[in-house]
Structure 1
């Protein structure tokens, strides 16, 4: 259980993190970068499928190539490290069985829950031959929803599902970096196909965010938020 002191420390951490656009050229220790990514990897994910991939780029020449794919944003070339966050469209085929085995070996998976996962995960994710499963899911689900609650199917909205999962990991990464004394800059302005090409990524990867990581050149500027009551809705809207 988190103590009030721990909560105070986390509040300070969360409020002090901000996007930094100017980075010193000083390299970041590779062990520290690995630790930050390891922490990010512990973010939650739907069905514990862990679809988020991290591509770490530290070579100067490759960062310059990546900067071009990121609409010329200089921070990509200037920061000593860049982490490209992506989500795997084929995560069920690539991770499902391995995840179940890992959970069983850890004693974290009850047989009844495993049976539910084996039933519903393929139903929700798989598109079938030439997208036939996707077709009926996309057309019939709105009709079924008229009569009973039903969740969105990842097979129909895969990019949206992956964006949610990878964003959880990206926030973990940025908070871990802040705790380590590093600055970060999350970016959405990039040409996804060109980013994949620079990094040799398969087309099954959906690139959702590019994060520059390094030491800031100066003290971070202050930032503000609107009063929380402008976005808080209690009980109902």
Structure 2
């Protein structure tokens, strides 16, 4: 809530470790001032923890362009809110135009070096967990098969899969259906559909999609199987 240039809310999380991503917005009852900087609106929260860093705000018939910025040469964890000098009379500036205008006043809207390094590290950790979980799902899929066939040499089964990686707080729950046709006691052709139903990937940086994993396979005997995923 912004009541005046000297009276406004601040968020200070410098005492703890920040993970995940949040979106910033301005309370609809706020009163903003053009050509003004609201210092240290956020403290301890880097730009790579923000889902958005600029937007417009409308109040009293006026449209304000705001941006969350770092001061060039200032603390990496201190984020200020800058309101552009004049009301918007046309379309909001492009990101490139906004960056240029802010840089002229010694502000950076783009992440600075330490923000970029922290973001890359966080992304790497998140992707490592997702890749490990996906690999586990594919490895499990290589073992799917039909062992009980009916009088027409057809097998259909349904089940579920839960995949969790102990080193990461990620898991998925999937439903699957497996079917096959037996040509002879030792030769069968089949396939499966593994549909992801839910996922838990804390951090919000990278997410799995809910597309299905599909495979067909040719099985021979009880130990040899060729699969196409």
Between the two structures, name the one with larger relative contact order (CA 8 Å, sep ≥ 6). 1
1 or 2, which has the higher helix percentage? Answer: 1
1 or 2, which has the higher strand percentage? Answer: 2
Q: TM-score, normalised by structure 2?
A: 0.21
Larger Rg, first or second structure (1 or 2): 2
Q: TM-score, normalised by structure 1?
A: 0.21
